[in-house]
Amino acid sequence: MQPIKTRAAVAWGPGQPLSIEEVDLMPPQQGEVLVRIVASGVCHTDAYTLSGDDPEGLFPVILGHEGGGIVEAVGDGVTSVAVGDHVIPLYTPECGQCKFCLSGKTNLCQAIRATQGKGVMPDGTSRFSKDGKPLYHYMGTSTFSEYTVLPEISLAKINKSAPLEKVCLLGCGVTTGMGAVMNTAKVQPGDTVAVFGLGGIGLSAIIGAVMAGASRIIAIDINESKFPIATQLGATDVVNPSDHDKPIQDVVIEMTDGGVDFSFECIGNVHVMRSALECCHKGWGESVIIGVAGAGQEISTRPFQLVTGRVWRGTAFGGVKGRSELPDYVERYLAGEFELDTFITHTLPLERINEAFDLMHEGKSIRTVIHF
């Protein structure tokens, strides 16, 4: 197979708008797959890396990690997917063989994590280039390109009847929020929950909390335009911290007779992470960090908060093992167990992808889905 040309949104440098370019893409090598991306959501993590705050951020790069696509070609040795299969790219792959995969304790497969973080394929080189100069891959996925190359272990094969322009959201946001509640926290019927930040992740955490049978779901955001959707999805209370003259953790503690059983930080703000921990019930409350914070930022609290039984933990991709578990999320979507339409507030062609970032920063979108 010869190299191909593909339309892609290139991030040439931090803080710069993406530039739509025709770039060169090498064919898939041993164990790699060429995928035609049909649609891709824009997640806050794309904006975070574009901002320059990501310590792993590299430029020039093709961002995007919330995609859905169709296998166009396979490299030598690829056996688990074939041309025509519908797939969701995985920024958390699943090799099934590394210490992490075999542990049964985590979804954080490390088989290709080092090269993925360096913006290259497992052999240490990039498949993308422009005028002969390499462009970096992003999170092993680079879904802001009409065609992309991924390792076989970074693809979940899904039901062909699922609409890719919707289930692409299961490539990150929706799975992360739902999985954080059901997999990582394991919220039980009757538990009380607080969700900080009502973007794609926080709203998905609300869906997860409803599915888990939470008795109270307190949805917290400084942007009140998010409240109607939170309520529609099942939040029992909505709170704007700006309406209160005391710390938000005290507000939640008062509302819940001592604090919630579980809280979820879905923003990436280290100060809110502290509030989310401290609004948990003494003796057993658990706070799950989902938000991603910038380089150099650190969390803090009084150790007494942990001594007295609160637990601080984190989650990536909702603890979901992509190849073995994500296809079932797609099936559950198809069975009507949850919906995705509410999340898709905007759809845009690739050429207008910068507007998706503007909408996110202005707090006007939940998810913009880019169509190719």
Does position 211 interact with Zn ion (CB under 5 A)? The reply is no
Among 8, 33, 43, 162, binds ligand NAD (CB under 6 A): 43
CA distances from 42 to 34, 65, 107, 117, 231 (A): 21, 8, 23, 19, 23
The option from ligand NAD, ligand AHE, Zn ion, none interacting with 55 (CB < 5 to 8 A, set by class) reads ligand AHE
Contact between 153 and ligand AHE per CB under 6 A: no
Which residues inside 167-196 make contact with ligand AHE, applying CB under 6 A?
172
Our finding on whether 233 is near ligand AHE (CB under 6 A) is no
| Longest CA span, the chain | 65
In the annotation, is 168 catalytic? no
Clarify whether 172 is annotated catalytic: yes
Decide: 372 and 146 in contact? Cβ < 8 Å.
yes
Residue 292 lies near ligand NAD (rule: CB under 6 A): yes
316 touches ligand NAD by CB under 6 A: yes
Indicate which of Zn ion, ligand NAD, ligand AHE, none lies near residue 109 (CB less than 5 to 8 Å, by partner kind): Zn ion
In the complex with ligand AHE, which residue's Cβ is closer, 170 or 214?
170
Cα–Cα distance measured from residue 369 to residue 164, given in angstroms and rounded to the nearest whole number: 10
Q: Which of 6, 21, 32, 45 is catalytic?
A: 45
Mask for 154-173, x = binds Zn ion (CB under 5 A): ------------------x-
Please name every residue paired with 11 in a beta bridge, in sequence order, or none if there are none. Answer: 61
Q: Extract the tokens encoding 294.
A: 């910038």
> Least Å distance between CB 264 and ligand NAD?
10
Answer yes or no whether residue 221 interacts with ligand NAD by CB under 6 A. yes
Provide the minimum distance between the beta carbon of 289 and ligand AHE in the complex, in angstroms, as a whole number.
10
Query: CA nearest 168: which of 53, 308, 82, 42?
Result: 42
268-294 burial string, b = 16+ CB within 10 Å, else e?
bbbebbbbbbbbbbeeebbbbbbbbbe
Tell me, yes or no, if 367 is annotated catalytic.
yes
Q: Is the dihedral of CA 302, 306, 310, 315 positive or negative?
A: positive
How does strand 128-130 pair with strand 133-134?
A: antiparallel
Q: Footprint of Zn ion on residues 17-46 (CB under 5 A)?
A: 43, 45
Question: Helix, strand or coil for residue 221?
Answer: coil
Active-site residues, by number, are 43-45, 65-66, 95, 98, 101, 109, 113, 172, 367
